[in-house]
Every structure is written in C-alpha cells, then in structure tokens.
Amino acid sequence: MRGVHPVGVRDLEVVGEQYRPQSFAALFRATGKPLGGLVWRDAELVAEPKNPHDRYAVAVFVEGRHVGYVPRDIAPDIQREVLQHNRSGDRVTVSARIWAVHEESDWPARVTLDPTGEREPEWAYVDRAQWPGIVSPDGTERLTRRAQLRRIQAAEAAKLVDGRDFDTYRPAIEQARADGDDDRALQLLTRCIDAAERVAAVCCSRPAAWPTERAATIHRSLENYDAEVAILERYFRADWNGDGTKALRTRLARARVLAGHASAGPIGPRRPADAGPLNELILTDPRPVAETELADEIDAVGVRDHLATVIAIVDAAGIARGTPYETVAVLRELCRPGRRTGIIAIYIDQQIIGRVGAIDSGPVRELIHRQEFRDRDVAVRCRIAMLDAAKPSARITLCPTERTTATERERRASAAQIDDIARLRIQRLAAGGTQAEDQERRLVRGRDFSEWVAPIAQLKREKKYDDALAVLSECIGAAERDAVARGFAPPPWYTEQAAIMFRRAGDAAAEVAILERFQQACPPGRSSVAIDERLVKARARLQPRRP
C-alpha cells in the first residue's frame, strides 16, 4: 500500500494524547530519548467507523503506536477521505511533529499533523547538563523542568557558607579589614571564593568576582604578589569560559609583573594576558548578515569592560547623552578549541561591546545556530542607553525595538512615567480614607517621593549638592514612614545617593549617620548588604586603621 497525503490536516492538533502515555514512552525510548523531546515521524490516519463512542473517529498512529485522534469537528470529512483511499489500497500518512516529556509518571505530549513553517531540528530532554542555560550549545538537548529546578536548588545550596549566602559576608569582611585583621578577612574570602566556584560549577558560568578581587587587593597590600597571582589564576581556572573580567585580566597581568614572572603568558590555563575576550575584540571576518528578532528582551552583560568603545560608537552617531540610540548588533558565539560552547559576543560596527549572559545564552545560542543562518552573522535590534552622569555608564538591550523598555530609573525619569505617578497620587488623595493616608505618608513637597528621582539627578548634574541633599533627606523620611507602615525595608537608593554625596564631600560622620539611620529603619534581618558594607567602610574612615 502506498502512502497518500490527505486534504485538510495542515497544522492540525491531535487530541487525546494524555490518555496514551505508554505510547509516547515506548516511542521516545525507541528513538534514544527516554525523557522525551521533539521528533518528526510519519503518522498514519486510521478510520474507525465501528468506534463505539464516535462512528466518525479517525485514529492517529505513529510507528504502530496509537497517539491520539483527529479532532471531532473535522473527523467526518477526514474519515470519508481516509476510507476512500483505503478502498483504493492506499494508506493515508502525514508528517507529524511530536513533542513529549517524561514528568514523574506522566507523559505530557502534543502531536501536530503537517505543521507549517520551518521544520526545526529534533532534540532530546536530559536530566544532567555540562553547559549553561537550558538548551545545549548544539541545540540537541534541553534540560527538563525537574533538572532546571534541581540546578537552581543546587546553586542555592552551593552559595551557602555556614547557612548564609556568601554575598552576605561582605560587611563582615570589610569589618575585618577595618580592624586590621587581614588574616580573618582572607579566611572569610577564601570560603566565599569556594562558594562562588561551587555555584559556577553547578551553573557552568563565571564565578562571582568580588571575593577574588578583594583577596587580590589584600595580598597586594601585603606585597604578597605570588599569592595575588595564585588567587587570580584560580579564578580564571574556575570560570567556565576562562575569560574572567577586564578588571581581573588587567590585575593579573600587573600582579605577574610585580611577582617577577611577567613572561608567564596565559591568563589561567587558556589565554594570553593582554588579549580581549578570545582575541576577538574586532569582528575581522564579518559574514553576510541575517536580521532577526529575539523572543524576549535581553540585557547585555560585560558592557563596563567595553565602555570606551560604547561611548565612541554613540558619539560617532551624534547621539546626545541621555538619548537612547537605536541600532543593530551582530551576535556571534566565540568558542575555544575543544569546547562545545563559548561566550556569545555582541558587536556593533564590528567592535565588541558586551556579551549575552549565561542565563540568556541558551535560547540565543539555539537561534544563531539555526540551519537558516549557517555561514551568516545574526543581527538583532539593539538599544544603547547612555546615562548622562559624572561617571558614564551604559545599558545595552537586545530585542525588537518596540519591546525595548528603559531601566527602572529611566522609566521614573521619563515624562510619561512621571505623569502616571502624579496621576496615581492625585487619584489616591481624592479617594480619601486609607488610600489618601497611604499617599500622604509618601509626600515630599507635594509629590510622591518616587517622583523625585529625576529631579535629584538633575540637581546633582547642576552641582546643586545642598539642594539635592535637602530633597534626599525629605525623601528618606517619607520612605521610612511608608516602610514602617507596610512592614518593609525602605528603598536604599535615596540613602545610597546621600551617602555618596557625603563621601565625596569628605564628611565621614554624616555618611555613617545616614547609613546607620537606614539600618535602624529596616525590620530585623532586612537591611541591605550594600548599605551594610558601605557603613563598615565609612566607619573605618572615621578612625585610623589599627597597625
């Protein structure tokens, strides 16, 4: 019997898959995918005129296994055609996209007959992975939800030091340094480095850099350059990509000079000391470009390492600071010899300006390695937001232009957002009762305290520091009143800005006071690690370091 393609089944979703878990279990075991995945097979349509529940039923079989039925509303027409071909001695077959996953004892599945659009490659679910993200670098494997949850749980457990997130030790480390107890600080930092490396191993990512940076700083202050080199090289060995950060690459190169072995070329085991990420700071071999879209908005990481390049690009385009620059960025994966995957670099005007973070790398890697983009560079819309501040910074967002959103601070600073907040403030005050009371607690000079973010930034740009501090003080008071009423910690931004201004003015006592005030306003155990760490440093500046 020859196969015949039926009419009317284009993009047809099969029904009843949930009643046939054994069929999917057997089918995917036979394909070498015991946990499920996605496969393409020919499905046969079998008429069942004697079906006791529906005499127009049309069953769907894949490799002899019953996987579901044609939907009831079109089954009569399909059955008529199937029977007609059967009488001529023909089987009725159609291409089918089959997805299923083994979850506990169940097999959720979906079968689509003759799907339109591009036929994507087959892939399998796995329970273990030695690559970052959810999708393997070559797109042939994906983590199950169970495996994703296990990875998250393992990462959360890995970051604990004596039952605490290692990041929460930052204030204690700074306190040890302020007390002149470098040994104690290094002991804590070593344990934090251990935790950061455990997390990186679980997630196949770069370890948190701050414990290594602080340990290297202490070793240099003690003129123990060999120890500084060792702790930095350890970081590069633990980094899944081996690239580290620009700051650590620079520090390691300098530490090697100080230690007397500057000729030791590689940073860590893999790369030259003076190279940019994978020696590809410039896209020297551009290919034909295929522009596409990402499914979700993605913020670039590592932008600070290439800030000078970003500034040059924005200035060359004639874009004023504070005005978003819409352009196109090229994505390319940079792999080391023998590695299945690497960093996904982001290029503008053939210059690297950042990379895709580990969390977002899976879907992006799958996109750029599609067959349709073979031998081509994938380009996506890109938005650069240069903050107009004394210390330049940039945010680079990859996504379709219409989906791009500003940062929280940018949104607050926009006229539309300010109008929304003002409108809500007016509505709450007009409503009376508890709504009005809640809003009145938040008022500063007739505005909600969140409306003052942009004006404060403007006052700082105009160097009206006394005015900025006056408004900040009132905002801190309003934030504290609101936090007490709601049982939350106040937003730390206002306190941080005031502390920064006191620090620049050399008023350590005022800095300490404003930071202590924040701690006192927080519920027990709800303070900010960043505030606590800043407070330790500020207190240390009030008294000379112990010998």
**Residue 354 near residue 364, CB atoms below 8 Å:** no
What mean pLDDT value characterizes the chain? 85
Region 396-405: what's the mean pLDDT? 61
Distance CA(516)–CA(542), nearest Å, equals 14
Quick one: which of 409, 385, 407 has its CA closest to 326? Answer: 385
Q: 270 versus 255: which is more confidently predicted?
A: 255
**Residue 241 near residue 342, CB atoms below 8 Å:** yes
Q: What is the pLDDT of residue 417?
A: 62
Render pLDDT for 323-365 as a digit per residue (tens, 0 to 9).
788 889 999 988 766 666 778 899 998 889 998 887 778 788 8
Q: What is the pLDDT of residue 415?
A: 55
Q: What is the pLDDT of residue 251?
A: 92
pLDDT bucket at 543, cuts 50 / 70 / 90: confident
Report the residue count for the chain. Answer: 547
Of 154-158, 161-165, 413-417, 423-427, minimum mean pLDDT range: 413-417
Q: If residue 422 lies in a helix (H) or strand (E), which one and from where to where?
A: helix 415-431
Which of these CATH numbers, 3.30.70, 3.40.50, 2.40.30, 1.10.150, describes 3-126? 3.30.70
Quick one: which of 521, 464, 533 has its CA closest to 494? Answer: 521
Distance CA(415)–CA(246), nearest Å, equals 36
Q: Is the pLDDT of residue 38 over 80?
A: yes
Structure-token pair, residue 279: 């020696």
Fold type of domain 415-542: 1.25.40
CA distances from 410 to 328, 386, 415 (A): 21, 10, 10
Q: Report H helices in 260-301.
A: none
Neighbour tally for 272: CB within 10 Å: 12
Please report, in angstroms and rounded to a whole number, the separation of the first and last CA atoms in the chain: 93
CA 323 to chain centre: 25
Distance CA(387)–CA(407), nearest Å, equals 11
Enter the DSSP assignment of 301. Answer: B
Q: Which residues contact 56 (CB under 8 A, 6 or more apart)?
A: 49, 72, 75, 76, 79
Q: Is the pLDDT of residue 372 over 60?
A: yes
Q: What is the pLDDT of residue 399?
A: 76
pLDDT bucket at 390, cuts 50 / 70 / 90: low
Q: What is the pLDDT of residue 388?
A: 57
**Residue 82 near residue 46, CB atoms below 8 Å:** yes
Q: 400 versus 260: which is more confidently predicted?
A: 260
Residue where the block lists tokens 């006394």: 466
Distance CA(42)–CA(94), nearest Å, equals 6
Distance CA(425)–CA(413), nearest Å, equals 16
Structure-token pair, residue 210: 């701050």
Q: What are phi and psi of 297, to 5 degrees?
A: -70, 135
Q: Is the pLDDT of residue 270 over 60?
A: no
Q: What is the pLDDT of residue 1?
A: 38
Structure-token pair, residue 236: 């590069």
Q: Is the pLDDT of residue 5 over 90?
A: no
In CATH, the number for domain 159-275 is: 1.25.40
Q: What is the pLDDT of residue 176?
A: 95
Q: Is the pLDDT of residue 269 over 70?
A: no
Q: What is the pLDDT of residue 8?
A: 66
Neighbour tally for 127: CB within 10 Å: 12
Q: 255 versus 280: which is more confidently predicted?
A: 255
Region 430-439: what's the mean pLDDT? 90
Distance CA(66)–CA(70), nearest Å, equals 12
Which residue type is seen at 402?
A: E
Q: What is the pLDDT of residue 191?
A: 97
Of 104-118, 223-237, 254-268, 511-525, minimum mean pLDDT range: 254-268
Distance CA(427)–CA(448), nearest Å, equals 12
Single pTM value for the model: 0.67
Render pLDDT for 120-172 as a digit per residue (tens, 0 to 9).
889 999 998 888 778 887 788 999 989 988 998 999 999 999 999 999 999 99
Render pLDDT for 55-110 as a digit per residue (tens, 0 to 9).
999 999 999 999 999 999 999 999 999 999 888 888 899 999 999 999 888 999 99
Region 521-536: what's the mean pLDDT? 90
Domain residues of the chain, as ranges? 3-126, 159-275, 279-405, 415-542
Q: Which residues contact 413 (CB under 8 A, 6 or more apart)?
A: 453, 454, 457
Q: Is the pLDDT of residue 237 over 70?
A: yes
Q: What are phi and psi of 160, to 5 degrees?
A: -85, 135
Q: What is the pLDDT of residue 542?
A: 83
Q: If residue 344 lies in a helix (H) or strand (E), which one and from where to where?
A: strand 342-348
Q: What is the pLDDT of residue 301?
A: 86
Q: Which residues contact 201 (CB under 8 A, 6 or more apart)?
A: 158, 238
Neighbour tally for 542: CB within 10 Å: 11
Quick one: which of 385, 283, 384 has its CA closest to 334? Answer: 283
Q: What is the pLDDT of residue 402?
A: 45
pLDDT bucket at 277, cuts 50 / 70 / 90: very low
Q: What is the pLDDT of residue 108?
A: 94
Please check whether the two domains, 3-126 and 415-542, share a CATH topology. no
Q: Is the pLDDT of residue 485 over 80?
A: yes
Distance CA(392)–CA(405), nearest Å, equals 20
CA 198 to chain centre: 19
